[in-house]
């Protein structure tokens, strides 16, 4: 655990209030009780967002004028946590009752097929990756926010556009393991943001590299103080460098408090010598996603209050803060951000929940 965090910065918390005031949003939309888990631009200059509404998987597409073009849900409880689309339709990955669920819908939103995988481990979130030549990889995992403390594992399932499962691989071991985010290099190697916990230890944030055939090449713990928990929530690979975001406990007058973090590593799993240290930008928060903008700046999304921190990826220097709400208190906020992306104009696409509702927003990159 990093020591020497400046506690005088806690004073800044005293100058906030609980009211969340909008801060020059380009656009925003609430769509019922639930949460948006992901958001992404599409090749036809639209954007796609999905998650859960009224306990059921939910997917919606908007055009560049923010008109709703398509709305998809299913009858079973669950979550759409990832999607891929082309001109012929949509493929979604998600979960229902602890199982991995993969669906294909045509361009009008009619279901073509559904594939269910029950790996006998609890699946709460699934990520989808297109691997080329009509093939996909779905990655199912428990949620790092889960209270589960028993044994768990990660599921990797390869399939094609017909929904035919071509391979399955479960990565497991003693204790709880979660990986909410992954990225790939040009050789097909997989980089995972991992969280591990045993019955005798607190959660630990780590990063791992697996080969394209799912053999672990290395794993690096990001924090090693057994008195403080941590979790890796997001990862981004770029030209031999890895950027990881998540949360870690830090000491506070009341015991401990959560703090978001972002770190840089090389592709060998070593902390980058270009950054002087890990960054801890926001109190009572966690880094829920990470990305690069068109200018190459590193964007880290904080889950509470939709706060985006901007860093120079080369040295980790702070380049500013983009606030979705001009007034918002992370410790008590009802605004939860899960995902960000960037469109061709540099606008920041945001997905999450606001006061218990499925919420998406577009924020200008201007601070």
Backbone angles phi, psi at 97, to 5 degrees: 55, 40
> In this structure, is the dihedral angle defined by the CA atoms of residues 336, 310, 5 and 19, taken in order, positive or negative?
negative
* CB neighbourhood size of 275 (10 A): 21
Give the model's pLDDT for residue 326: 86
CATH at 196: 2.40.128.630
Q: Identify whether 252 is part of a domain.
A: yes
Q: Identify whether 216 is part of a domain.
A: yes
Q: Identify whether 307 is part of a domain.
A: yes
Q: Identify whether 339 is part of a domain.
A: no
SS3 content of the chain, % helix, strand, coil (to 5): 0, 60, 40
Q: Identify whether 1 is part of a domain.
A: no
Give the model's pLDDT for residue 223: 94
- Structural domain that includes position 208: 174-333
Mean pLDDT in order along the chain per 10 residues (367 residues): 40 44 85 96 94 98 95 95 96 96 97 95 94 95 68 91 95 87 94 90 94 94 92 96 96 88 96 92 96 95 97 96 91 95 93 97 83
* 321-340: pLDDT as tens digits: 999 998 899 999 999 999 99
Q: Say how many domains are in the chain.
A: 1
């Amino acid at each position: 655990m990093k020591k020497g965090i400046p506690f005088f910065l806690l004073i800044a918390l005293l100058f906030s209030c609980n009211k969340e005031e909008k801060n020059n949003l380009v656009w925003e939309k609430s769509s019922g009780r639930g949460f948006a888990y992901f958001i992404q631009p599409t090749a036809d200059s639209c954007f796609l967002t999905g998650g859960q509404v009224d306990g059921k998987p939910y997917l919606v597409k908007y055009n560049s004028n923010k008109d709703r073009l398509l709305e998809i849900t299913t009858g079973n409880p669950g979550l759409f946590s990832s999607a891929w689309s082309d001109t012929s339709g949509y493929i979604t990955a998600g979960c229902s009752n602890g199982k991995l669920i993969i669906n294909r819908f045509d361009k009008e939103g009619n279901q073509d097929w559904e594939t269910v995988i029950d790996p006998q481990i609890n699946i709460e979130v699934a990520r989808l990756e297109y691997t080329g030549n009509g093939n996909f990889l779905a990655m199912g995992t428990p949620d790092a926010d889960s209270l589960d403390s028993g044994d768990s594992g990660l599921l990797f399932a390869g399939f094609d556009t017909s929904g035919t499962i071509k391979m399955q691989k479960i990565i497991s071991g003693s204790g709880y393991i979660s990986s909410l985010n992954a990225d790939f290099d040009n050789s097909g190697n997989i980089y995972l943001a991992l969280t591990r916990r045993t019955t005798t230890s607190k959660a630990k944030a780590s990063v791992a590299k697996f080969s394209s055939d799912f053999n672990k090449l290395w794993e690096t713990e990001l924090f090693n103080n057994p008195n403080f928990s941590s979790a890796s929530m997001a990862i981004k690979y770029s030209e031999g460098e890895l950027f990881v975001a998540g949360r870690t406990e830090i000491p506070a007058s009341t015991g401990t408090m959560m703090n978001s973090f972002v770190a840089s590593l090389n592709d060998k799993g070593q902390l980058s010598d270009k950054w002087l240290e890990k960054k801890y930008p926001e109190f009572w928060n966690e880094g829920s996603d990470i990305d690069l903008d068109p200018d190459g700046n590193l964007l880290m999304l904080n889950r509470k209050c939709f706060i985006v921190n901007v860093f120079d990826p080369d040295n980790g220097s702070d380049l500013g803060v983009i606030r979705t709400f001009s007034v918002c208190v992370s410790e008590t906020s009802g605004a939860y951000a899960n995902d960000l992306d960037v469109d061709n104009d540099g606008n920041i696409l945001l997905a999450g929940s606001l006061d218990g509702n499925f919420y998406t927003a577009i924020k200008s990159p201007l601070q």
